[in-house]
């Protein structure tokens, strides 16, 4: 099994990302939250139409502003819109330009290094005054697994990609562990401000800003507050020029306002749908759909598919609630991928009975009129009754007890269906196995 470890570890990380979600909010909401917490930010407002953008620019006044596409992805400044407009962050010099760029951004998809080729839809733009930084720094407050507490990551090299700094000049990044019971004291905050390089007249302001950011981090159950850049302006004010905030999904019950800001248009539609149904779903690149209960069994299922020369199309864990409704929703998600050529159902009936799962499976296949082969391995309570129900259903569901044999058949069926699709012919399967 040694050969399978890299694959399993990758999928484990993917599954953890899915199950331990962190809410991200748009920049304009982050700026409002910082402003309410007493942190200095450039004045700005959000617009959902070109006309609103023009009105906001007139209100800001002056002839030096910035318009930013509100898309939850990094690299916006170097991104390209599907209509050809380059740059999701632009300097503008008049309300007319604000209207012109807003019209080209709103309602269009922005493609960046983080969105993939499909891009993400821009539904609004943030227009703010342009401030000139005398110095630019990087500051982030994060929850650190290693130290099991908050850390403050800071660097004098702000205003640029922190990953690049970490790669090219790691000594420029400082990590300060924070005792969660003590918090960020005056001495800690002042030392960070001095080490970053704030001028003497800004040290106290920077200290206060760091402490206010930490208070916000703790009060709002944040997992991340990243300010890049945290700037000292030409008139010696400390401003958070750009902010990225993330919040712990487990705090949804006590951070109702913040979680009401979730923008599901910025998330994978299928993963959003799965989460609403209580399913853990991640689309992968293969062609064998997987429906499993339990993350560990899901990992083993994908491993054995790989071992037999196949590729899983998804990670899908229905958890302990493998009800008929959950099974139907899971099949809907799996079959929405046109690449899927077979479905491997691997369920351990401990809390739920295998015969109940079999009934739900049969009902789903009948109602959806599925034509691709389905391999069902149901083990546990009432498994014999489940096998009988499936075998007597007359449907293209193949009930197999042995995990290796089931995976082998799933891969073989997938290859046959793929070959048939490639030459544009139909294929039928009999139950003589």
pLDDT by residue (tens digit) across 38-90? 999 999 999 999 999 999 999 998 889 999 999 998 889 889 999 999 999 99
Find the catalytic residue in 27, 226, 270, 329: 226
CA angle 77, 81, 85 (to 5 degrees): 80
Of the pLDDT bands very low, low, confident and very high (cuts 50, 70, 90), residue 326 is confident
Q: Is-contact 391 415, C-beta < 8 A?
A: no
Of the pLDDT bands very low, low, confident and very high (cuts 50, 70, 90), residue 420 is confident
Q: Is-contact 215 38, C-beta < 8 A?
A: no
Query: 213-222: per-residue pLDDT in tens?
Result: 999 999 999 9
Closest listed residue to residue 61, CA positions, set 37, 95, 18: 95
Mean pLDDT value across residues 372-394: 90
Please compute, for residue 143, the number of CA atoms within 13 A of its CA located in the half-sphere on the CB side.
Answer: 14
Q: Which of 4-8, 315-319, 407-411 has the lowest mean pLDDT?
A: 4-8
Q: Is-contact 385 355, C-beta < 8 A?
A: yes
Q: Is-contact 230 138, C-beta < 8 A?
A: yes
Sign of the CA dihedral with 171 first, then 173, 176, and 177 last: negative
Find the catalytic residue in 138, 270, 271, 329: 138
Mean pLDDT value across residues 339-353: 87
Mean pLDDT value across residues 344-357: 85
Residue 307 structure tokens? 């071992």
138 catalytically annotated = yes
User: What pLDDT is recorded for position 430?
Assistant: 55
Top mean-pLDDT range of 183-192, 293-302, 313-322, 383-392: 183-192
Closest listed residue to residue 39, CA positions, set 223, 242, 194: 242
Residue 14 structure tokens? 């993917």
2 catalytically annotated = no
Query: 106-138: per-residue pLDDT in tens?
Result: 999 999 988 888 899 999 999 999 998 999 999
Work out the mean pLDDT of the chain and round it to a whole number. Answer: 88
Selected residue with higher pLDDT from 147 and 163: 147
User: What pLDDT is recorded for position 114?
Assistant: 85
Mean pLDDT value across residues 170-199: 94
Q: Is-contact 16 214, C-beta < 8 A?
A: no
Closest listed residue to residue 155, CA positions, set 209, 228, 208: 228
Closest listed residue to residue 379, CA positions, set 252, 293, 275, 289: 293
**Is residue 270 over pLDDT 80?**
no
Mean pLDDT value across residues 427-432: 56
Query: 1-20: per-residue pLDDT in tens?
Result: 333 334 434 444 444 444 44
Selected residue with higher pLDDT from 166 and 235: 235
């Amino acid at each position: 099994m040694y050969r399978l470890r890299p694959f399993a570890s990758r999928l484990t990380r993917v599954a953890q990302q899915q199950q331990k979600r962190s809410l991200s909010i748009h920049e304009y909401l982050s700026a409002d939250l910082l402003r309410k917490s007493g942190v200095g930010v450039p004045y700005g407002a959000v617009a959902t139409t070109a006309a609103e953008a023009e009105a906001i620019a007139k209100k800001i006044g002056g002839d030096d502003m910035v318009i930013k596409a509100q898309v939850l992805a990094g690299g916006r400044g170097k991104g390209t819109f599907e209509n050809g407009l380059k740059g999701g962050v632009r300097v503008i010099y008049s309300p007319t330009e604000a209207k012109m760029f807003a019209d080209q951004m709103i309602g269009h998809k922005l493609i960046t290094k983080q969105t993939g080729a499909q891009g993400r839809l821009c539904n609004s733009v943030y227009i703010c005054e342009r401030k000139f930084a005398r110095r630019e720094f990087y500051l982030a407050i994060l929850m650190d697994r290693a130290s099991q507490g908050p850390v403050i990551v800071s660097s004098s090299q702000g205003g640029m990609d922190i990953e690049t700094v970490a790669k090219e000049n790691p000594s420029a990044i400082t990590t300060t562990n924070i005792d969660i019971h003590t918090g960020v004291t005056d001495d800690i905050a002042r030392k960070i401000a001095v080490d970053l390089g704030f001028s003497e007249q800004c040290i106290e302001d920077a200290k206060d800003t760091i402490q206010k950011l930490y208070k916000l981090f703790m009060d709002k159950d944040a997992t991340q507050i990243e300010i890049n850049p945290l700037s000292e302006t030409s008139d010696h004010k400390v401003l958070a020029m750009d902010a990225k905030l993330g919040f712990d999904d487990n705090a949804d019950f006590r951070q109702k306002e913040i979680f009401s800001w979730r923008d599901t248009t910025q998330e994978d539609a299928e993963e959003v749908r799965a989460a609403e149904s209580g399913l853990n779903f991640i689309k992968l690149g293969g062609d064998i759909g997987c429906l499993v209960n339990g993350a560990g069994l899901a990992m083993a299922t994908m491993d054995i598919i790989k071992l037999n020369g196949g590729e899983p199309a998804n990670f899908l864990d229905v958890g302990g609630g493998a009800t008929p409704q959950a099974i139907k929703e899971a099949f809907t998600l799996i079959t929405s991928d046109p690449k899927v050529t077979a479905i491997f159902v691997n369920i351990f009936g401990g809390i739920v009975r295998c015969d109940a799962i079999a009934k739900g499976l049969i009902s789903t296949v009948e109602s959806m009129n599925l034509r691709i082969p389905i391999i069902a391995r149901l083990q546990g309570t009432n498994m014999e009754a489940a096998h009988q129900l499936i075998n007597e259903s007359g449907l293209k569901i193949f009930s197999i007890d042995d995990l290796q044999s089931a995976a082998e058949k799933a891969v073989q069926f997938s290859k046959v269906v793929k070959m048939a699709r490639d030459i544009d012919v139909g294929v039928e399967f009999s139950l003589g196995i």
